[in-house]
Structure 1
Amino acid sequence: MRGTSISVLVILVLFCCKINTEGKGYKEAFNCRELECPKYEVMHSGKQFEVRKYEVSTWMSTPTINSTSYSDAVARGFNMLFAYIQGNNYKSAKIEMTAPVLVDVHPSTGPFCNSTFVVNFYVPQKYQKYPPGSSQLRPAKLPRQKYGIVRRFGGFMNDGNIASEAMALKKSVKGTPWESSFGKSYSVAGYNSPFEYDNRVNEVIFWSNN
């Protein structure tokens, strides 16, 4: 009888441990220990993706950039963002770097057509209510949808692995309540500078109101 009680206790402990570990989601991106990052709540955590509910916050966004290359578009957009945080704004304010840099991607419909991109900078809490204005950037409230469906990957982002990771995310949600919410457009989040080689964290995100 005693042995049966011990076995039941062990099963209960293991079951509780499983409950406590599920739903925690991805670990915090390494750079978010030092840089300000947007806040969110993990609503669902799976093996290959998680669903987040972000707090709506202020970002500074570039104009739409037309390009056949993600790398080209991000380089152009990041130059605008970097100038902005270095003081090229109406208050001449030096603004702390944050993470991630969020890029909205609207893929082209043909092999020789431009895709469109918007590069977004998360505004630090100090400037959330009143971000310094800019002639190149505009403030935006993001996200526009309620939920972000996220897949994380490492390395340096490029046109090839972004597309493949987006397809992998679509595949991983088949048969789930979020399958029907996927559209053609998505975002990618990069948490590292181009000069960091270790602990690189990238995410591809599809947005949904469902």
Structure 2
Amino acid sequence: MEKKSLFISFVCRFLASLVLFSGSKAIESPQFTVIQSYSNMEIRLYKESSWMSALERGGTSFENSTKQGFHRLYQYIHGANLNSSQLAMTAPVLTTISTRESNYIVRLYLPNGAIPRPNPELNLGLDRWRSHCLAVRKFSGIAKDGSVEKEMEALRISLEKIWNESSGVVVENRFYTIAQYSAPFQVSGRVNEVWMNVSGLTGKGCLPLNKGQF
């Protein structure tokens, strides 16, 4: 009974945090510039950014791994850090999915400023991303196990139509990322994106990935 109560309490706090996604303009997000726009996707150049990450190695599914990883990140921003600091919720929540292994990484954006170290038992890591480019496709509805791979595949096909092998553009296919901006209980108007890293766009600043950008 105690475990059930703790789980219900966490779910309520989880929903309370993410409701900010749909109703507050104060939520901070990583900064980017759209450098190319198409009917069903766009290419963005993101500035340098920092993310706290939770690795779910051998995860059973996108949905479960996202919930479990976010649970640890939630604790971190609500005081489970060496400064006992309360940090603001940001958007989006990212889940990076490996296409070769059953590994998932859930991430939360950290705005500029002092970043407190997480408590060791949370097993979180800090990822610092340099400026890089992303191909982005927006989609609505709830991001589920059965839909995220289809959205990634649709983005991949769109990229193949505009760039061939001789273009010099490299699309990273070892992993892709689902970005969720909406509260989980929001029924309509949900905002999700699928991200794929791209490099090699001449003059656009699209640099190759750092080793730690998975």
- Could you tell me which residue of structure 2 aligns to residue 133 of structure 1? 117
- Could you tell me which residue of structure 1 aligns to residue 148 of structure 2? 162
Determine helix, strand or coil for the equivalent of 1:41.
Answer: strand
- Could you tell me which residue of structure 2 aligns to residue 50 of structure 1? 42
Is residue 66 of structure 2 the alignment partner of residue 80 of structure 1?
Answer: no
- Could you tell me which residue of structure 1 aligns to residue 107 of structure 2? 120
TM-aligned CA deviation for residue 192 of structure 1: 1.6
C-alpha separation in 1, matches of 2:50 and 2:88? 15
Q: Give CA-to-partner distance per residue, 1:94-140, whole Å, 9 cap, x none.
A: 111000011111024xxxxx62101111013xxx2421101222211
Contact kept in structure 2, 1:40 and 1:52, CA below 8 Å: yes
C-alpha separation in 2, matches of 1:49 and 1:145? 20
1:152 to 120, 138, 144: 138
TM-aligned CA deviation for residue 58 of structure 1: 1.1
C-alpha separation in 1, matches of 2:110 and 2:30? 9
Identical residues among aligned pairs (%) = 32
C-alpha separation in 1, matches of 2:31 and 2:24? 11
C-alpha separation in 2, matches of 1:32 and 1:61? 24
Q: Structure 2: any 5+ residue segments left out of the alignment?
A: 1-20, 201-214
Do the aligned partners of residues 78 and 171 (structure 1) sit closer, same or farther apart at CA in structure 2, a change above 3 Å counting? Answer: same
Determine helix, strand or coil for the equivalent of 1:171.
Answer: helix
Q: Give CA-to-partner distance per residue, 1:45-69, whole Å, 9 cap, x none.
A: 1001100000111111113432131
Tell me the amino acid that sits aligned with residue 138 of structure 1.
Answer: G
Tell me the amino acid that sits aligned with residue 159 of structure 1.
Answer: D
Q: Give CA-to-partner distance per residue, 1:66-92, whole Å, 9 cap, x none.
A: 213101110110100111111111111
Is residue 47 of structure 2 the alignment partner of residue 60 of structure 1?
Answer: no
Tell me the amino acid that sits aligned with residue 38 of structure 2.
Answer: G
Out of 30-39 and 70-79, give the one that drifted further. Answer: 30-39
C-alpha separation in 1, matches of 2:35 and 2:24? 20
Contact kept in structure 2, 1:51 and 1:147, CA below 8 Å: yes
C-alpha separation in 1, matches of 2:182 and 2:96? 17
Which is greater in Rg?
1
Do the aligned partners of residues 106 and 73 (structure 1) sit closer, same or farther apart at CA in structure 2, a change above 3 Å counting? Answer: same
TM-aligned CA deviation for residue 30 of structure 1: 5.5
Q: TM-score, normalised by structure 2?
A: 0.74
Determine helix, strand or coil for the equivalent of 1:71.
Answer: helix
TM-aligned CA deviation for residue 190 of structure 1: 0.4
- Could you tell me which residue of structure 2 aligns to residue 5 of structure 1? none
Contact kept in structure 2, 1:85 and 1:93, CA below 8 Å: yes
- Could you tell me which residue of structure 2 aligns to residue 200 of structure 1? 190
Contact kept in structure 1, 2:56 and 2:65, CA below 8 Å: no
C-alpha separation in 2, matches of 1:31 and 1:115? 34
- Could you tell me which residue of structure 2 aligns to residue 15 of structure 1? none
Determine helix, strand or coil for the equivalent of 2:82.
Answer: coil
C-alpha separation in 1, matches of 2:132 and 2:88? 27
